Amino acid sequence: MKKLLFAVCISASALSFAQDYSVPAASPRQKVEQQFSMSKISVDYGRPGVKGRKIFGELVPYGQVWRAGANSSTKITFGQSVNFGGKTVPAGTYGLFIVPTEKEWKVILNKDFQQWGAYTYDPKQDVVDVTVPVNKLADKQEWFEITLNPTDENSGNLVIKWDMAQAEVALKPAKLDAVNKISEKLKEIKKIESESNKKG
């Protein structure tokens, strides 16, 4: 009976340990989130490493759709409608795909954000695509990276880089005039609240 109890305790301890740890991922998953205008933008993606390989033109062939990361497709979520590289995109979650060439990338937002890689990618599900230039980095970017860099309170850039290549897509609110009007009203409300609290 004691041996059985000991075995149960060891098994329970091992299970508890396993819940806290996992095998290191070859392409770790990352989620980035950035305040944008009156809402947020988030990106969920896998981060493959260069690992001594030739990336663009070999591992990631030119002229073919790529998942923009590793494993399950990259997901991007907009909390409000945005101007994505000059084209309007409604609020929601999309799959982010890229068709790379040596000098420019076609960056695609697709309705299907739950697929594995780009194996079932259907261009009929595309919402928008924009073509942006590719810049050569001064230093190698070992791990694939997507960042959201604000340029002011109502605009920013989606920055994608890996190996020696970097591309950016400009982001703005789809209806900037409406956003500015709402923002002014919110500032007025906050001012009234602040003054009311001081009197109270």
Could you tell me the strand order of the sheet in which 87-89 lies? 87-89, 82-84, 155-173, 135-152
- CA–CA separation, 155 and 172 (whole Å): 5
- pLDDT tens digits, 75-103: 999 999 999 999 999 999 999 999 999 99
User: Which one is predicted more confidently, 59 or 188?
Assistant: 59
Listed in sequence order, the residues at least 6 apart from 68 whose beta carbon sits closer than 8 Å to its beta carbon are 45, 74, 96, 97, 98, 107, 146, 160
Per-position DSSP letters for 8-33, written without gaps between them: HHHHHHHHHHHHH--PPPSS-EEEEE
- pLDDT tens digits, 131-172: 999 999 999 999 999 999 999 989 999 999 999 999 999 999
Per-position DSSP letters for 140-198, written without gaps between them: EEEEEEEEEEEEETTEEEEEEEEEEEEEEEEEEETTHHHHHHHHHHHHHHHHHHHHHHH
* Res. 178: pLDDT tops 80: no
* Res. 200: pLDDT tops 90: no
Whose tokens are 């109270």? That residue is 200
* Res. 60: pLDDT tops 90: yes
Under the banding of pLDDT at 50, 70 and 90, the label for residue 192 is confident
Q: Where are the domains of the chain?
A: 27-183
Q: What local confidence, expressed as pLDDT, does residue 114 receive?
A: 87
Average pLDDT over residues 4-30: 62
CB 190 within 8 A of CB 157: no
| Mean pLDDT, the chain, integer | 87
Average pLDDT over residues 16-37: 77
CB 130 within 8 A of CB 84: yes
Give me the percent of the chain exceeding a pLDDT of 90.
68
CB 172 within 8 A of CB 152: no
Two structure tokens written together for 168: 């950016």
pTM metric for this prediction: 0.80
Under the banding of pLDDT at 50, 70 and 90, the label for residue 26 is confident
- CA–CA separation, 79 and 89 (whole Å): 11
Return the percent helix, strand and coil in the chain, to nearest 5: 25, 45, 30
Average pLDDT over residues 55-73: 95
